[in-house]
A and B are shown apart, each in its own frame.
Chain A
């Protein structure tokens, strides 16, 4: 065990994958000598060579399309988008080509596309988005969104080993703010949800950076015991864990950093409404970012993103119901 930051854990996963599996190659803009926009791949080109850590032209479509081709001939490509927002330029290759390859041609497309996502760093509207729901809606793609250093490494290794194309959302706010014990060498985190805080009066369901906001909110509520469920993977969605938590707690707050309409939490709320109805003791409450681009100004961004204050207030309101 070593204590690593969330970012170091991702770097470590890439290093382990490159060292143990010769099929793994990394593709991205300036990921070689420069080490990538956030330095996740720093040093990897020197260690593994320019044939395996490949600097690409500035074309997300070419990166993902090239990765699909490499995957078809047996490689395990891992693509880096400089920011999650830029994946829109490669959307067609990811959603229409990679996601449907298995059903159209019976071919596996085991690619991973890493998306530095989320806000909280004054990145403005083009560098702060949480686009996970775009890909949840596209059949054939898996969507991972780890909240801890441990799960960031374990889920990235699981994504590389997975025969399906995986969209890997690494939260840039967590890169250097979250650290934790990370096992050395290879391990895979299961594609299931995890209870990160026990409680039985109310459950907050979250993923990514919102898990930390939810845990902070729960800690402030001394008058009741609030559980926090970290989804970890959005596709597959751990429906059993969600419904079990609802049965135990009867009150639910679902948190998204994504924009409110059709966010992952909307899917969770709909699941609960249909299959957990008989266990509910109050309305399913959602907390999310408004349906607006993320503002650049720090004060406005703080107001837009769901922080622990808003989650805490929503919990208190629902607990009193």
Chain B
């Protein structure tokens, strides 16, 4: 078989229907490294969604063509590999189904023997003992294969450090060693700084009595978020100025509402999946779509198309009790709505023509808007209309 038949091109994959390019984030393999079918060769990224590029066949990497950090078009050749067998080899040889004796006869071959050095990864018991005994694993010299830290090494290290101050006196918080920010944190940071230096951001707040919202959510068995989302979408129909993009001097209003929902990923960061054509959905459908997007955001299985083309964003961090914020606009949108904690407060109400104090669930809605695109009166009227809708 000619060598050329076995040379395979590895290309930048299509990361989503509308995605045209991708950035190379890092290589898992170097020229000369062996790969198995579907083993990750490199990480690529578009916007905030990361993917791995799997090896198309078993073989050896021969060349890396695109450098880390480079952004290339979909279909661009990023690496070359030489496959063990030419593609479309036909029927597998019977060796593939031979008796399994070889498997158990083979020495224990942990997966890390293939790539990263085993010293970088620790067995479950090593991790557990190190935590229990307060042993810093990076300082333990491993006596196992390829320098692997073994259970005995952790126990020996714990014995050596035993006369040191009891772990109980130490702080329970062990800060991680200094290191570079994650890629997601860097990306969020760049995005936020760009928004603040681009937009003329102003935030307006309004207090809303959530009695009607509370009644409605009990009736429908949903959280307040989809109800607020539905009311926001309806109100945006009257205030098209806010459902828009401002890119430089180009100002585009949208007829459809592609509603972005900020989803926290814990300490990793956050992501804003988008409910497309949200004006066509009712409260229950919105609740389902939001729950689905949030679950998949946390599972890391969103497609790049699901985090693009938002026209307005909703952020909802009130679960911890904070009642006001100044959210940063998600560029190139012109506004973002923030809902905070629903707090029971004494308020003045009119009952039978007389004023009195009543206990009502109150929520502060904050709208950050771009003064380049609109003025305060639009924001104020939008918030008033939204309040009207939520209170009725």
Q: Establish whether residues B105 and A310, one from each chain, have CB atoms under 8 Å apart when the complex forms.
A: yes
The docked-state distance in angstroms from the alpha carbon of A125 to that of B105 is 21
Interface residue ranges of B144-163 to A (CB < 8 Å): 144-145, 148, 150-151
B218 within 8 A of A: no
Bound form: Cα–Cα A304–B99 in Å = 11
Nearest CB in chain A: distance from B174 CB, A: 20
Residue among B100, B108, B126 with the most chain A CB within 10 A? B108
Q: What sequence of 0s and 1s flags, for each residue 268-288 of chain A, a beta carbon within 8 Å of any chain B beta carbon?
A: 000000000111111101111
In the complex, A111 has a CB within 8 A of chain B? no
- Specify which chain A residues have a CB less than 8 angstroms from the CB of B165 in the assembled complex: none
A290 an interface residue at 8 Å Cβ cutoff? yes
Contact A288 B104, CB 8 Å, known A278-B125, A281-B125, A282-B123: yes
For B123, the closest partner residue in chain A by CB is: A281
Within 8 A of A (CB), among B84-127: 99-105, 107-110, 123-126
Docked Cα-Cα span, A261 to B98, in Å, equals: 13
| Complex interface: chain B residues within 8 A of A314 (CB) | 107-108
Cβ contacts under 8 Å, A288 to chain B:
104
Residue in B closest to A201 when the chains form the complex, CB atoms: B152
Inter-chain contact B100/A281, CB cutoff 8 Å: no
Measured CB to CB, the closest approach of chain A to B119, in angstroms, equals 12
Q: Which chain A residues numbered 236 to 277 have a C-beta less than 8 Å away from chain B?
A: 250, 260-261, 277
Interface residues on B, range: 20 to 34
How many residues of A are counted as interface, with CB atoms below 8 angstroms from the partner's CB atoms?
Answer: 26
Most chain B beta-carbon neighbours within 10 Å: one of A279, A281, A314, A321 = A281
CB atoms of A290 and B125 under 8 A apart: no
Least CB separation from A255: chain B residue: B104
Residue-wise interface mask of B (48-60) relative to A, using a CB-CB cutoff of 8 A (1 in contact, 0 not) = 0000000000000
Minimum Cβ distance to chain A for residue B46 (Å): 36
Known: A283-B108, A318-B108. A260 touches B100 (CB 8 A): yes
Q: B128 at interface (Cβ–Cβ under 8 A)?
A: yes
A contact set with B: CB distance below 8 Å: 250, 260-261, 277-283, 285-292, 304, 306, 310, 314, 317-318, 320-321
Known: A260-B101, A278-B125. 9 other contacts (CB 8 A): A250-B125, A260-B103, A278-B124, A280-B124, A281-B124, A287-B105, A290-B99, A314-B108, A321-B145
